[in-house]
Amino acid sequence: RKEVEQDPGPFNVPEGATVAFNCTYSNSASQSFFWYRQDCRKEPKLLMSVYSSGNEDGRFTAQLNRASQYISLLIRDSKLSDSATYLCVVYNAGNMLTFGGGTRLMVKP
Amino acid sequence: SQTIHQWPATLVQPVGSPLSLECTVEGTSNPNLYWYRQAAGRGLQLLFYSIGIDQISSEVPQNLSASRPQDRQFILSSKKLLLSDSGFYLCAWNTNTEAFFGQGTRLTVV
């Protein structure tokens, strides 16, 4: 089993739709969690951190469920510009990164 | 400020030729450093990571090697490239709150 798993998609949604991605992690000692966005042929960029209490940034909401060991990303009112690959990142001991394989989102007009 | 430099941005190499990709970090000391590869339409595959000078861990058996001769320099190498080495290579380092990536090197082996 991979340490961090994501549904690769693609998720094809119309503009204005709400879409959610999950990411599961296997190491119960994982310490920090993040969502990154990667555009085609570009390096990943930080989208948002994920806290136990959940956090929201505009149309984006991230949540952490430690008991079930998953994090989620919800995107409301999808825009064409949201089309990208979304990567979850887990920090383990010693600040070591582990990336999920990414979930591809395609927002259609 | 902290920055990461990776070069070259694009590379076309013949099969059997050597490879050297370099990554340097500025504005921090003793960073965790990583080399990832990404095939077209796929996720990030961790190749190597390093927690300090000359401390390299390999995640997958492959035709590549990595070295960290200085604290903020991470080099990815190959003695003889294979067609399957083609891909998008990313260098990264992280703080406890964020990971930073180089611009990536798009390698095409022909």
In A1-109, beta strands by DSSP E = 4-6, 11-14, 19-25, 32-38, 45-50, 55-57, 60-65, 70-75, 84-92, 96-99, 103-108
- Those of residues 65-94 in A touching chain B at CB distance below 8 A are 85, 87, 89, 91, 94
Contact A97, B100 (CB under 8 A): no
**Can you give the pLDDT at residue A51?**
82
Both tokens of B64, joined, read 């590549």
Question: What mean pLDDT do residues B44-52 have?
Answer: 91
Contacts of B66 (CB under 8 A, 6+ apart): B35, B47, B48, B50, B56, B58, B74, B75, B76, B77
CB contact under 8 A, A34 and B99: yes
Please count the other Cβ atoms lying within 10 Å of the Cβ belonging to residue A83.
Answer: 18
**pLDDT digit string, tens, across residues B70-96:** 999 999 999 999 999 999 999 999 887
CA atoms within 13 A of residue A47's CA, in its CB half-sphere: 27
Residue-by-residue DSSP string for B50-64: EEETTEEEESS--S-
Q: Which of A39, A89, A37, A43 is nearest to B102 (CA)?
A: A43
Do residue B51 and residue A36 have CB atoms under 8 angstroms apart? no
Average pLDDT over residues A84-106: 89
Given B32, B90, B92, which is nearest A95 (Cβ)?
B32
Going by pLDDT thresholds of 50, 70 and 90, the confidence category of residue A1 is: low
Residue B2's pLDDT band (cuts 50, 70, 90): low
Cβ-based neighbour number of residue A15 at 10 Å: 12
Residues B34-40 have a mean pLDDT of 89
Q: Mutation test of the interface with chain B: which of A2, A7, A33, A43, choosing the one with the most B Cβ atoms within 10 A?
A: A43
Side chain identity at residue A69, one-letter code: Q
Phi and psi at residue A42, to the nearest 5°: -125, 165
